[in-house]
A and B are shown apart, each in its own frame.
Chain A
């Protein structure tokens, strides 16, 4: 199935002749709903960004969070990026994200191609083997024991390896590979190309959209890793950014937070807290728009194909 776009693109598409024109009330209601929806997402981002860029004085005048900016003060960023818990956590998270995405994409693409040829040796059994974990989640306690038993505790591999293949992403990539015309692959085979060569020279160049989407999914999940870090990372200096964010923002919520605190001595001021939020969001917001346009194309073709 190709997701057909119902109406021609461009701002001024025509309403079909049989459809009745909208009532003013309906139109107004729709406008209000959409505005609320968009503001509901963007307003918190705005407040957090503005507060992180405000001076102490502005924040004190506003009584906490700032909605209307008065000048730009980057001192909060200078403080936390000068070194210390946040800087270190950002490096750890970057390392985990880069390593994790590379490993996961490699493993997923290889497995997806290996499973994309019906009729190959053991195809049905292997497919079932790869799909079963989708229905049966690995249970928490034995998973914890396996990872610690392998000696991965307090290493980035505890965060990188266990999620290095997501069955969902595998199915998406495999579906995309199967949509590539069989004649193309056959002709490569006739020309004597091995499977590895076919994958590298023909299949991958045709699959940029789906690789971008699945890569984004992996990168985001590695960047967002929090619970695995709670389980497997005990050393403060190995904390990824989400753990640090949790201790900065949520630890103040209650006397003790899940898994103990990082031992932050003084409560960070509002601007610093918000700057940590901004730094945690920034990579996602920066990459997302470039990949977002592939979502429909990449995900749906692979998944809801018919």
Chain B
């Protein structure tokens, strides 16, 4: 679950909408080139990096339709031109592979679980923080809970191992108390709870930022008027605060649904071996293990392409539904 990416929200695809300047069509191309060449030069490095490291790989998806053999040439490009085209063969293999469907099921199960047990938490926390009277206390709590967002997954899992692992503090305490210690870190049955707990620890605080921003835009007079009409604190929460947050909640839900097939790559790759493939293989780790780790590139590319296409379809569908419900969604037809 990517934390910061969601903050861009409402204005992402048309951030310049309010500041539109009348376009000057009169100026001929050469003149505009002379006027704007410095701007174009500034954009060039970023353009090049995206071209090489984003667009070229996206185009490279075509190897999903190849029997790509890395040993057919001296470099990936030569191997690409020498490999045979086999159409949808890789996809057929993929859909016949029970391991793929295991990974698919695990991914959806984890997404659904986190939608129920993780998604509402930042909203609740934001409402609670927003209602703190002392701004110094609020600032302190915010500083502390944002921090784990900046830790790598290796670090987060290291902390969990230190606390809950076989040699961790929990097991140590239980052993001293004469109990049979748990090792939560290697138990496939509770893995889904563990990864959700890790995700919560890492990102629940960070997730509040966007809700806090939305809360600060709610008109205070609404609360006063509601209170004058006799609405208690819970009614005000239900009729003012939550409706005020609704556009953001819908937006984040859409983004989450679009990401339904990616649940966080590093987290699972790091724990896959400790817990076992049955519980911890998700689509992303499947792609990794069946391509780069084993050299079967075409197969992995097919799995990755499948995931990307489904994700794109999901996000477009979710956005359409949001429009039908009268919400703005991530983008709207302007």
Number of residues of chain B lying within 8 A (CB) of chain A: 124
Residues of chain B from 111 to 152 with CB closer than 8 A to chain A in the complex: 125, 128, 130, 133-137, 140-141, 143-148, 150-152
Tell me the bound Cα distance from A256 to B162 in angstroms. 19
Contact between B58 and A111 (Cβ–Cβ < 8 Å)? no
Tell me the bound Cα distance from A111 to B55 in angstroms. 17
Known: A41-B148, A258-B273. A130 touches B301 (CB 8 A): no
The closest CB in chain B to the CB of A151 belongs to: B75
**Binary interface encoding of chain B residues 209-238 relative to chain A, with 1 for a CB under 8 A from any of its CBs, else 0:** 110111011001001100110001100000
Contact between B58 and A138 (Cβ–Cβ < 8 Å)? yes
Flag whether A148 is at the interface (Cβ < 8 A): yes
Residue among B36, B54, B233, B273 making CB contact with A254, cutoff 8 Å: B273
Contact between B61 and A139 (Cβ–Cβ < 8 Å)? yes
Residues of chain B from 5 to 32 with CB closer than 8 A to chain A in the complex: 5, 7-13, 15-16, 19-24, 29, 32
Contact between B135 and A13 (Cβ–Cβ < 8 Å)? yes
Flag whether A190 is at the interface (Cβ < 8 A): no
* A18 CB to nearest chain B CB (Å): 4
* B224 cross-chain contacts in A, Cβ below 8 A: 16, 18
Tell me the bound Cα distance from A124 to B43 in angstroms. 13
Known: A11-B134, A175-B15. A67 touches B169 (CB 8 A): yes
Among A65, A131, A196, A306: residue with most chain B CB under 10 A: A65
Residues of chain A from 128 to 144 with CB closer than 8 A to chain B in the complex: 129-131, 133-144
**Binary interface encoding of chain A residues 59-97 relative to chain B, with 1 for a CB under 8 A from any of its CBs, else 0:** 000111101000000000000000000000000000000
Contact between B159 and A48 (Cβ–Cβ < 8 Å)? yes
Known: A227-B269, A253-B185, A306-B11. A13 touches B134 (CB 8 A): yes
Tell me the bound Cα distance from A41 to B2 in angstroms. 19
Residues of chain B from 41 to 65 with CB closer than 8 A to chain A in the complex: 41-43, 45-47, 49-50, 52-61, 63
Contact between B270 and A258 (Cβ–Cβ < 8 Å)? yes
Flag whether B161 is at the interface (Cβ < 8 A): yes
Contact between A121 and B32 (Cβ–Cβ < 8 Å)? yes
Flag whether B196 is at the interface (Cβ < 8 A): no
Flag whether A285 is at the interface (Cβ < 8 A): yes
Tell me the bound Cα distance from A78 to B9 in angstroms. 47
Residues of B within 8 A of A (CB): 4-5, 7-13, 15-16, 19-24, 29, 32-33, 35-36, 38-43, 45-47, 49-50, 52-61, 63, 70, 75-77, 80, 125, 128, 130, 133-137, 140-141, 143-148, 150-155, 157-159, 161-163, 165, 167-169, 172, 175-176, 185-186, 201, 205, 209-210, 212-214, 216-217, 220, 223-224, 227-228, 232-233, 265-266, 269-274, 284, 287-288, 291-293, 297, 300-301, 304-305, 308, 312, 315
